[in-house]
Structure 1
Amino acid sequence: MAETSLHIAGRHYTVRCRDGEEAHLAHLADLIERKARLAQQNTPGLTEVRTLLFAALFMADELNELEREAVGRQQQLALDNEDESATRAIEALAARIEKLSDRLAAPAPDA
């Protein structure tokens, strides 16, 4: 198990992680650090805990927005698939109608 040091909101944290996950953890810590700096800039004088709280809220808001966008895209894809199915059904019906029309237009066989 690896150990890495992270810098978030003016403090250093030593955390353990799986071997090879250090860079990923550092990236995540950087994301949190940016949000913490944003919170401190927007509301000077925040305590460490409130800084991290606001950083978490900023990140949760972004995640929530991304989830809503993903749901919207999934719904649009479902509608697109329904449209494709309807188009195929209409095309199949049109082909059947043309065949029936051709049969009706054909001369009757001699009896």
Structure 2
Amino acid sequence: MGETCVPTGVELKNTGFGYTLSLVDGKYKMIIMYWLSENKVMRFNQLKRSIGGISFKTLSVMLKELEAEGLILRKEFPQIPPKVEYSLTERGLSLIPLLDMMCQWGEKNMPTLETIQQ
């Protein structure tokens, strides 16, 4: 990692690390990707219920950003009532091992109540 990933004198956004971070940055993007990786295909209300605590507008914005970044696919069915399904693209799926590693690292290194009280 180190020098090749974040060279000296280069803005973070212009590095591989910065680019990757920009794709998953946002309070709910990683969570949305997690749910889609677990369920393969989900509709808007399924995602909203699964995530909990996310507003309609925020979920809508996050989905649009993930779609624009090529990480998720939005499939609209021409029927009444309208039906829209979301799934991960190959590009989005390729990020899942990285998100899993971040989760595993967090679980191993998260402070416990005992370490916080010391």
- TM exceeding 0.5: no
> Could you say which structure has the larger radius of gyration?
1
TM-score, normalised by the number of residues in structure 2: 0.28
